[in-house]
Chains A and B, each alone.
Chain A
């Protein structure tokens, strides 16, 4: 089982969280991948809860089930081979594993948005980036073309894209990796979601660009108060952004807790191994 410790009151995480209940609750999630070669139990009885305004990082190595868990929230695991064999994902009083596709379509991008690792493959290469940001608003909020355009330009500006009117009209290949990821974030946040799921959002980026994107995510979160579910393999990224962390291994959550506790008093052997294996830059 997980070792979820009580929050101590003197951590910044505690100060940053509201007293409201969880905005998203994953309860006993179990996901199998039924392949020709056999069944892979990708996610095994995973329970996580995400409070408004907090960042929960799910960290693990490849094959740990962290991405399958994240994708389950919006039922984005390809079916087949994925089968949701157990558990619930509660959001706004509903179980996302059971809401009709129509309703889920409304929730995706509007209430719960996602940012993926590689902005080159998640943006449409044939369409102007601004239009791709604006379509979220046209689709979900029924805004007119003009209003959506104005809101999209504003969104591009908010994520720190210089000269947003000009960038609006450009295509993904005309932008650097960092700018593309900013566009993705603008598109994810333009609908003011309550939950942002970020799956390895900086893994494909250079370290200086990664730093800028992480800072951007943190500041946008503080401004808008959304909850962030951050999926990463990088404990450095966890330490710099998360309030709480869940460590996954072989489809299970082996440890959850406040980021300070997990890093400095890890309760689980695997967490300790992961921390020990992470190279640290010692500059002192």
Chain B
């Protein structure tokens, strides 16, 4: 991630997903515009990360592209086909190529189904070979393979979700998404509910699967540090609009939009030499130097802060040279 210009050139690749002028209004007297004129393309094999804070419209946008929600205006093309123009049966066939992994591995699977039934469900829906008596053996084999491909023991098929940890359940969710050989996977905050050590392993798994299977990821996240690890391109969303779209390195290191900079500045830095204290020194006056919109509560310049700041300034300078 240190090279400013990654060799990936998604523009040259074929777009798998194209959103054009998407708009979604929610009605009522106090109607609101959740998604406002969003256009975006995602190339086959790339990871596009959609970043934004709560209420920015990222969930509505993903629901639009999954066709779980009808847009008020605009279109969604998948592999060149307009989703709105498809007959229900065609839409169903196409949907098989788009799968989704949700944030919460606890609420996104039926607690009364076995792991086998959960993972097989999309196959039963989409794949005639998985149905009927002969289908049972077929799905069992497939489910075993899928579980192993996400790093789980194939022998857990007859167990239930509550027997597994959050990370293991998220692996089951991923296996379920892979069951019908999709081309695009929408990952909606797939690691937000997980501990960091588990998150790291799930991110590794996703990267590995993408490479082996040529998957395209639409990765929704509020965590910019995670996004930096996974994204080829980043789209920043705010109040229903995309404020910035570009190559990941570009957006993170040379953000064009003030809101992107604000988001980046807000991320806590897991390095005490470069975090708040360093900023306090740079800003000069308490916490006012850190952010422009702290609201009230001006940071009083206490003797403590002054003394701390003095020594920390040197530490910060050393740190920027030596730190990775």
**A and B form one complex:** yes
Interface, chain A (partner B; CB < 8 A): 10-13, 15-16, 53, 61-62, 157-162, 177, 182, 206-212, 214-216, 218-220, 222-223, 233-242, 259-260, 263-264, 273-284
On chain B, the residues within 8 Å of A218 by CB distance are 276, 287, 299
Given A61-B197, A274-B196, A282-B2: A210 in contact with B266 (beta carbons within 8 A):
yes
| A236–B275 CB distance below 8 A | yes
| B197–A277 CB distance below 8 A | yes
Could you say which of B200, B266, B298 has the most chain A C-beta atoms within 10 Å of its C-beta? B266
| B287–A219 CB distance below 8 A | yes
A93 nearest CB across to chain B (Å): 26
Given A62-B195, A207-B53, A240-B275: A281 in contact with B311 (beta carbons within 8 A):
no
Q: Which residue of A lies closest to B286 (CB)?
A: A219
Interface, chain B (partner A; CB < 8 A): 1-2, 53-54, 166, 195-197, 199-200, 222-226, 228-229, 252-253, 262-273, 275-277, 286-287, 290-291, 293-300, 302, 304-305, 307-309, 311-312, 315, 320
Given A12-B307, A62-B195, A281-B228: A275 in contact with B270 (beta carbons within 8 A):
yes
B228 nearest CB across to chain A (Å): 6
Of B268, B291, B304, which contacts A16 at CB under 8 A? B304
Q: Which residue of A lies closest to B287 (CB)?
A: A215
Given A207-B53, A215-B291, A263-B271: A223 in contact with B300 (beta carbons within 8 A):
yes
Closest 5 CB pairs between A and B?
A12-B308, A236-B268, A160-B296, A160-B295, A279-B225
| Complexed CA–CA distance, A211 and B1 (Å) | 25
| B197–A281 CB distance below 8 A | no
| Complexed CA–CA distance, A214 and B290 (Å) | 11
A14 nearest CB across to chain B (Å): 9
| B272–A208 CB distance below 8 A | no
On chain B, the residues within 8 Å of A212 by CB distance are 291, 293-295
| Complexed CA–CA distance, A214 and B312 (Å) | 19
| B53–A208 CB distance below 8 A | yes
Given contact pairs A61-B196, A160-B294, a sample of 5 additional A-B residue pairs in the complex whose CB atoms are under 8 Å apart: A161-B295, A177-B54, A219-B299, A236-B225, A239-B269
| A260–B2 CB distance below 8 A | no
| B263–A277 CB distance below 8 A | no
| Complexed CA–CA distance, A235 and B197 (Å) | 12
Given A15-B308, A159-B297, A222-B304: A208 in contact with B266 (beta carbons within 8 A):
yes
On chain A, the residues within 8 Å of B54 by CB distance are 177, 206
A145 nearest CB across to chain B (Å): 25
On chain A, the residues within 8 Å of B302 by CB distance are 222-223
Could you say which of B54, B252, B264 has the most chain A C-beta atoms within 10 Å of its C-beta? B54
| B224–A207 CB distance below 8 A | yes
On chain A, the residues within 8 Å of B252 by CB distance are 281, 283
Given A207-B53, A236-B268, A260-B272: A279 in contact with B223 (beta carbons within 8 A):
yes
Q: Which residue of A lies closest to B54 (CB)?
A: A206
B217 nearest CB across to chain A (Å): 16
16 contacts between A and B (CB under 8 A): A10-B311, A61-B195, A162-B296, A182-B295, A207-B224, A208-B266, A211-B291, A215-B291, A219-B298, A222-B302, A275-B270, A277-B200, A279-B225, A279-B228, A280-B225, A280-B271
A34 nearest CB across to chain B (Å): 21
Given A212-B293, A215-B287, A279-B226: A236 in contact with B270 (beta carbons within 8 A):
yes
Q: Which residue of A lies closest to B314 (CB)?
A: A10
Given A212-B293, A222-B304, A223-B302: A15 in contact with B268 (beta carbons within 8 A):
no
On chain B, the residues within 8 Å of A157 by CB distance are 296
Q: Which residue of B lies closest to A158 (CB)?
A: B297
A111 nearest CB across to chain B (Å): 22
A25 nearest CB across to chain B (Å): 22
On chain B, the residues within 8 Å of A16 by CB distance are 304-305, 307-308
B275 nearest CB across to chain A (Å): 4
| B268–A239 CB distance below 8 A | yes
Could you say which of B200, B268, B320 has the most chain A C-beta atoms within 10 Å of its C-beta? B268
A195 nearest CB across to chain B (Å): 18
On chain B, the residues within 8 Å of A177 by CB distance are 54
On chain A, the residues within 8 Å of B2 by CB distance are 282
| A281–B199 CB distance below 8 A | no
Could you say which of B276, B297, B300 has the most chain A C-beta atoms within 10 Å of its C-beta? B297
| B270–A12 CB distance below 8 A | no
| Complexed CA–CA distance, A249 and B20 (Å) | 49
| B307–A215 CB distance below 8 A | no
| Complexed CA–CA distance, A27 and B32 (Å) | 55
| A207–B300 CB distance below 8 A | no
On chain A, the residues within 8 Å of B287 by CB distance are 215-216, 218-219
| A12–B311 CB distance below 8 A | yes
Could you say which of B200, B225, B304, B320 has the most chain A C-beta atoms within 10 Å of its C-beta? B304
Q: Which residue of A lies closest to B166 (CB)?
A: A62
| Complexed CA–CA distance, A235 and B2 (Å) | 23
Of A61, A62, A216, A236, which contacts B269 at CB under 8 A? A236
| Complexed CA–CA distance, A206 and B293 (Å) | 14
Could you say which of B199, B252, B271, B273 has the most chain A C-beta atoms within 10 Å of its C-beta? B271
